[in-house]
Structure 1
Amino acid sequence: MRTTRLIAAALVAGFLLTGCGAGSDDSAGTAGRSDAGGPAAAPAAPNEAAKDQAQVAPAEGKNEPAQAPDLSVDQRSIIYTGSITVRVENVNDAAARTVGIANGAGGFVGGDNRNSSNGGANATLTLRVPAEKFTSVVDLVAKLGKDGKEESREINTQDVTEETVDLDARIKVQQARVDSGRRLLASAKSLNDLVMLEREVATRESDLASLQAKQRRMADLTALSTITVVLLSPAAQVGPPGNEPPGFLAGLRGGWQALTASLGVLVTVLGALLPWLIVLGVPVWLLIWALRRRRQGTTSEARRPAESVPGSAE
């Protein structure tokens, strides 16, 4: 009996030790599951969901249409043109200084027309200067006048930003069409396909060259501004004589000028036709004269028998 009790006590002690070990293992396992993202990690789920939503939001924004760029003034394509009239003491000296102003600004003279008459000398110069120097060049030319004054000034601007952007886009599309046509041409299998593709590629290249020429012209107009400078001597008129106010005398003078111009044109046309009239008109006139003589002779012969018949009856 004593032995039996000792064995039972040993078994009870073993069960107790086993239960304590199992409780410690469960607590350790629960802690491990909490660290591994079990029930204890549940509060972190909303943060991860917010992160996922933040990552999805930009992706959804990519499907929205692209907005046009907001170009500032210095990024826009603007064509500047202007004209200025200045009265100077010496037209040739002022013209030389105007050329120096254009060259100093990095531009050049596109036209130079000078006249000298009893009414006074004048000169008209066309300057091409960089767009960023446009205002400064106009101001420097204005200072050439007497007492630093100018007769008149006119400034015009034209915003061609939209045309420039549209032209760039069209060139990119046309370049892509040319490249695809060349690839198809390289893989042509038959002679008919080769001829057809060559014609299509030539048409596309011609269209591309035309667009590129327009682009170069637009770039030239936006990069270099045009300034027309009119230099007048003290005795020269501000404008041409045709700019006088309307009236009877002005109308009479205009009508007389139109009449003389018409007569000049008529005399010129007659002078040009006179050799042809001599070469072709004289033979035609001789032919007509010969036909009339022949017709008159035939008529005379026909009348003679008719006149002789009554005489014989008598």
Structure 2
Amino acid sequence: MRTRWRAVLAAAAAAFVLAGCSAADSGKSATADSAGSGQVPAAPRQGAGDAGKTEQGKGVAQVTPPQAGATNRKLSRSARLELTATKVVDVVAQARGIAQGAGGYTGQESTGEELATLSLAVPADKLDGVLDQLSHLGTSLVKRELNTQDVTEQVVDVEARLATQRASVERIRALLARAASVSEIASVESELTSRESALESLEQQRNSLAGSVAMATVAMSIRSVAAPAPPEADHSGFLGGLAGGWDAFLVFGGGLLTVLGAIAPFLLIVGPLAWLGWWLNRRRRTVKPEPTEV
């Protein structure tokens, strides 16, 4: 009897142990399933995202952003050319045509037979091409200068002062509208006139800077030079000798004619007198009486 109860208790204990092990195994499998479904690896994905953000941040940090206004500078350009030419007037006309063809115009000009100076204004973006064309005019290029001045700060300063001055003028106009007495009106109008004058001066400065940026100036100086001598002819060979002999004959004949031309006036006077003397001498010999015999 006792043996049976012991066997039953042992079987119950074994069943309990098996049940606990199966529960533990099911918990482990559930944990494994949840890990396989992607619920637990959320942290690694977050780390990967952070790593991506870090890499992206590093990429942005490596690229240096351009400075403000670095690609929009205000440049005032000017150039100077010195040329030589055999015909100054023709080169001046060609320079005018090049400037007008580029959309520019001619400023001051002084043209003579030996020297010409003129000032050309052309669009700033076409200055390099115009200089290349002008440099090939005439006989030779003596000097070529190109000057570039950055006026960005001046433009920014004038624009800021213009905005401030416009606001100041508007305030004075508001005060003028609220002025009650004649003295107040006169005082405010005087101040308004002064500030409007300052505003016009700033606007003129702004326009002048804009013009110097939009249009470039070219100062040209053209001097006259003698035409190059023609190449010497080849005097070698039979034809060369014949040509040389002919030239020598022409030179000798020219010299002989020059001498004859120089003594011709004397021959016109001395010749008749010499002939008259010869004739009288001959006549005297003819009429001379013969000597008588004793």
- TM-score normalised by the shorter chain: which range applies? 0.5 to 0.7
Residues in 2 aligned to 1:174 and 1:234: alpha-carbon distance in whole angstroms: 56
1:178 is matched with: 169
Matched, 1:158 2:149: yes
Residues in 2 aligned to 1:197 and 1:207: alpha-carbon distance in whole angstroms: 15
Q: Identity over aligned residues, as a percent?
A: 37
Matched, 1:224 2:215: yes
Q: Deviation at 1:211?
A: 0.7
2:127 is matched with: 134
Amino acid paired to 2:79: G
Extract structure 1 runs of 4+ deviating beyond 4 A.
Answer: none
**Counterpart secondary structure, 1:150:** strand
* Structural mapping, 1:220-299, within 5 Å: 220-235=211-226
Classify 1:155/1:80 alpha carbon distance in 2 versus 1 (closer, same or farther; 3 Å): same
CA contact (8 A) 2:86 2:226 kept: no
1:71 is matched with: 69
Classify 1:102/1:173 alpha carbon distance in 2 versus 1 (closer, same or farther; 3 Å): same
Residues in 1 aligned to 2:218 and 2:207: alpha-carbon distance in whole angstroms: 20
Residues in 1 aligned to 2:180 and 2:67: alpha-carbon distance in whole angstroms: 45
Residues in 2 aligned to 1:145 and 1:95: alpha-carbon distance in whole angstroms: 9
Q: Deviation at 1:69?
A: 6.0
2:279 is matched with: none
Matched, 1:214 2:205: yes
**Counterpart secondary structure, 2:219:** strand
1:25 is matched with: none
Amino acid paired to 1:82: A
Amino acid paired to 1:133: K
Q: Deviation at 1:88?
A: 2.0
Matched, 1:95 2:92: yes
Unaligned runs of 5+ in 1: 1-67, 237-314
1:198 is matched with: 189
* Structural mapping, 1:115-126, within 5 Å: 115-116=112-113, 121-126=114-119
CA contact (8 A) 2:117 2:219 kept: yes
Residues in 1 aligned to 2:116 and 2:173: alpha-carbon distance in whole angstroms: 54
2:9 is matched with: none
Q: Deviation at 1:136?
A: 1.0
Name the TM-score, length of structure 1 as normaliser: 0.49
Residues in 1 aligned to 2:67 and 2:178: alpha-carbon distance in whole angstroms: 40
Residues in 2 aligned to 1:190 and 1:213: alpha-carbon distance in whole angstroms: 34
Deviations 1:80-104 (A, max 9, x none): 1110111223211111110000001
**Counterpart secondary structure, 1:76:** coil
Residues in 2 aligned to 1:235 and 1:167: alpha-carbon distance in whole angstroms: 51
1:104 is matched with: 101
Residues in 1 aligned to 2:188 and 2:226: alpha-carbon distance in whole angstroms: 68
Residues in 2 aligned to 1:69 and 1:177: alpha-carbon distance in whole angstroms: 32
Amino acid paired to 2:96: V
Name the TM-score, length of structure 2 as normaliser: 0.53
Q: Deviation at 1:115?
A: 2.2
